[in-house]
Amino acid sequence: MRRSMLGRLAVAACSLSLLTAFAPSADAQGDGANGHHRSYKKVGYFTQWGIYGRDFQVQDLDANGSAGKLTHINYAFGNVSADGKCFTGNVPGEADAWADYSRPLDSANSVDGVADTWDQPLAGNFNQLRELKAKHPDLKALISLGGWSWSTHFSDAALTPASRKALVTSCIDLYIKGNLPQDGTRGGAGAAAGVFDGIDLDWEWPGSAGDADTKFRPEDKANFTALVKEFRTQLDALATSQKRKSKYELTAYVPTAAAKIDAGFDVRRIMRDFDFVNLQGYDFHVSGEATTAQQSALRARNDFSVDGTVEAWKRRGAPAHKLVVGMPFYGQGWTGVSGGGDGMGQPATGPAPATWAAGYEDYKELKKLADSGSYQVHRDRRGGHAWLFDGTTLWTYDDPQVLRAKTAYVREEGLGGAMFWSLDADTADGELITAVDRGLRGR
């Protein structure tokens, strides 16, 4: 997962009635191999920083109809400090309390159409999520912890039983209980209570390399398993103490590469405690590579693919209905492509120029290229992926046609649903999320 650019009740004394209340419903588990009559997960990541350059606000999800098609919003990201605790503040590159809960929204950018006042304890994105959930009562919001840039301290924080307990307690206190640090008139005890319905773990990656400064060690696999259990235990205990009608959800973003799965994930054990996991379904190849390639193929021979990722997790014991397929709302691009043909599998001189970061472009911008006539759309129908090529520059991406094939695959395989990174990359009218929603409905 990019940043600037992831159960079983554990309280031994729980009664049978609580076990029944917290058990997954038949609808959530699916209904037969084809997944008919299933309630699919539709999980979209909302980026904290998207409110700035992209000017993508929580209110836009309501205005473009996306909120009514989502089941979950994962808020990206929360950070873990060097002392192993969830934290926030106004620390450039590390935390942005201004975006999270301090920034006032005017009436035009507010979900409920009312401007924030100077003295309300909660403003910013968190308050807008609260308003969005009030308007869409079935929508859940989860705080996603880590990401590529902010997984730095996970390995240390998960190292011992005491450190795991301290980490989980701090995350629940900050995000689930909503006890925010005071930031002027904002924050305070319980200020964000009720905003988040659970936690999404996005540690990239336990037991194997991630970002340059992210520590990893062989013990991460066992420690990640224990950390997941600690989250499940504390979340369930809190739900019980609150007499909450539904449990707090626990999910994760997990990798495609078999080596990374085996290095960091005891699949059978962790899947007992996760409600579902979001599978990496993109970045199979990236623009930093010397040769153009697919980044998100549904199927591929001798290469990474969505189907290969699903099968890898299933072989290791993951139930199909708990596997949610990641789908990109962006493309990977190369320039200086030579060799002729359709450009795929050819040498390139480097990442393609783009709006925010070289080699990475939002779908809404790639759609403009496709519509301009200067690029030709190519498709590998058997592999289930598409790309744009103008003779020099190539972008590999998912468009509505590709997403229809992927949602059909989700239904055919009895999987849990679809996840997408990220909501701010879709068109103003929510073209991609509409394609996913219709596809999962079999339309």
Taking the C-alpha atoms of residue 306 and residue 55, their distance in angstroms, rounded to an integer, is 31
Please state, in angstroms and as integers, the Cα–Cα distance from residue 95 to each residue in 154, 158, 168, 203, 293, following that order: 16, 21, 18, 17, 34
Residue with tokens 């699919």: 40
Q: Do 410 and 325 contact (CB within 8 A), yes or no?
A: yes
Task: Look up residue 382 and give its two tokens.
Answer: 């058997």
Token couple for 432: 């991609």
State the distance between the two ends of the chain, measured CA to CA, in whole angstroms: 29
Query: Could you tell me which residues are beta bridge partners of residue 377?
Result: 388
CA dist 114 and 225 (Å) reads: 44
Annotated catalytic residue: which of 204, 249, 361, 413? 204
Residues paired with 73 in a beta bridge: 44, 141
DSSP-based three-state secondary structure for 155: helix
Q: Among residues 163, 145, 258, which one has the least CA distance to residue 203? A: 145
CB-based contact 418:407 (threshold 8 Å):
yes
- Token digits of residue 232: 């499940």
Q: Residue 33, Cα to own-chain centre: how many angstroms?
A: 26
Residue 163 parent element (H or E): helix 161-171
Whether 289 is catalytic is: no
- Closest by CA to 297, choosing from 307, 287, 289, is 307
Cβ density class 171-189: b for 16+ within 10 Å, e for less = bbbbbbbbbbbebeebbee
To 10 degrees, the CA torsion angle through 418, 422, 428, 429?
10
What is the secondary structure of 86-154 as a DSSP string?
EE-SEETTTEEHIIIII----GGGSTTS-PPPTT-S--HHHHHHHHHHHHSTT-EEEEEEETTTS-TTH
Catalytic residues: 204
